A and B are shown apart, each in its own frame.
Chain A
């Protein structure tokens, strides 16, 4: 069945780069997403990538997709304390709803 896996915790120093990894099992995945959730808040869409792309860059964020290995990563350059949050990877087979989410990676940024 569909499954998305993420490591649960990541701790970095302010100013370093953070890399959050995700693996998925559904080879039919068409869209892959990264969301950020701060305490007590909903999900903020950071970026998403089509499965026919290898990379997408948006300011400090770089998404890399290895479709062969079904591996997605999110790199945050120059990580700031305000980046501390839980980051969720998600995949969707079709356009529209039904996102399958990973468990979330809690990013802790230390000054």
Chain B
């Protein structure tokens, strides 16, 4: 079974631009979560989508948004990029059956903002 895939793997943008990252979950998984990883702040939860609805949201500004499609693929968007948005963005998928809460992560998208 294929794992979680994220595209693109690397991205370079300049301040003020916007960016869209994509995540394809493991087949059959309906929950997709997004995280930001930086050396200073560590791993921080951005949001979770389940059946096309945002179910949980972290403490990030409104410039960070996401959505989920009917095939469970998810995208996150960051508008008006700032230097501090440079990070590794990870997504995780989960099946969410009763008693099963394994969350599997993709390889991440490394975003550099210049």
Interface residues of A (CB under 8 A from B): 30-31, 33, 35, 41-45, 48, 88, 90, 92, 95-104
* Chain A residues closer than 8 Å to B84, beta-carbon distance: none
Task: Contacts A42-B105, A44-B105 given; indicate if A97 touches B42 (C-beta within 8 A).
Answer: no
The tally of CB-CB contacts under 8 A between chains A and B is: 68
Given contact pairs A96-B96, A97-B47, enumerate 13 new A-B contacts (beta carbons under 8 Å): A31-B101, A42-B108, A44-B105, A48-B102, A95-B101, A96-B94, A97-B56, A98-B48, A99-B33, A99-B92, A99-B103, A101-B43, A104-B43
* Chain A residues closer than 8 Å to B90, beta-carbon distance: 42-43
Task: Contacts A88-B43, A97-B45, A98-B56 given; indicate if A48 touches B108 (C-beta within 8 A).
Answer: no
- We find that the number of chain B residues with CB closer than 8 angstroms to chain A is 27
Interface residues of B (CB under 8 A from A): 4, 31-33, 35, 42-45, 47-48, 50, 55-56, 58, 90, 92, 94, 96, 101-108
A101 to B42: give the CA distance in the assembly, Å.
8
* Chain A residues closer than 8 Å to B48, beta-carbon distance: 96-98
**Cβ B103 vs Cβ A45 within 8 A:** yes
* Chain B residues closer than 8 Å to A90, beta-carbon distance: 43
